[in-house]
Amino acid sequence: MQGCDAVVSCLGHNMSIKGLFMPPRKLVTEAVKRLSKAIENTNKDSNNPTKLILMGSDGVANPLGSDDQRSFGERTVLTMLRYGLPPHNDNEKAAAYISAVDSPVIEWVVVRPTDLINGESSKYETFTKPQKSLFGSAKDGIATRANVALFMVDLIMSSDEDKLWQTWKGKMPVLHDDMGGDVVCT
């Protein structure tokens, strides 16, 4: 980590029986803990904080409590996922860990894309909290993997002049592809 300006973690579990239910069940959480410690140990004398960007999902609630309360049905499904599907629990714990990081050498963002699809990069929108139901359709929001990558690169390359990093550091933006029309970003 010596001299790194930014670290991006897009780790996740394979979508197979082995990947969903077998070890390592805390892959993302343990990776975030190790990355944080490595950054702190190697950059403790640095005047420039390292940007730590974690990819999550919009199904992971912001542990700092700024998301709207989900419907009863959505909360029920998320509770079942939390206790029945180890990767969801892992992503929640990783977000909780990173949101509690208080270090002068680490600044963080957890990017929460909505429903991921393959596709080209295009315009995208970022929001402070989820904009759709867990049970929404594609017209309610999608995010291409290319746009998620583009946003992460935009965060890394952000300068003081454009203020993108300053807008999102210490936060958990939700990313949607720009679907056109009159969308108001909040």
Contacts of 47 by beta carbon, 8 Å cutoff, 6+ apart: none
pLDDT at 67: 87
Report the C-alpha gap between 51 and 36 in whole angstroms: 10
Separation of alpha carbons 50 and 103, rounded Å? 10
Q: How many whole angstroms separate alpha carbon 24 and alpha carbon 87?
A: 10
Question: Over the stretch 43-92, which tens digit does the pLDDT of each residue have?
Answer: 887 788 999 999 998 889 999 888 889 889 988 988 888 888 888 899 99
Going from the N-terminus, what domains does the chain have, and what CATH number goes with each? 6-177 (3.40.50.720)
Model pTM score = 0.89
pLDDT at position 104 is 92
Long-range contacts of 150-159 (CB under 8 A, 24+ apart): 150/121, 150/124, 151/111, 151/124, 151/126, 151/175, 152/8, 152/53, 152/55, 152/111, 155/6, 155/51, 155/53, 155/109, 155/111, 156/5, 156/6, 156/8, 156/51, 156/53
Pairing of strands 124-127, 174-177: antiparallel
- Give me the pLDDT at residue 184, please: 36
pLDDT of residue 44: 81
| pLDDT less than 70: residues of the chain | 136-140, 180-186
CA atoms within 13 A on the CB side of 156: 15
- pLDDT value at position 45? 78
pLDDT at 144: 94
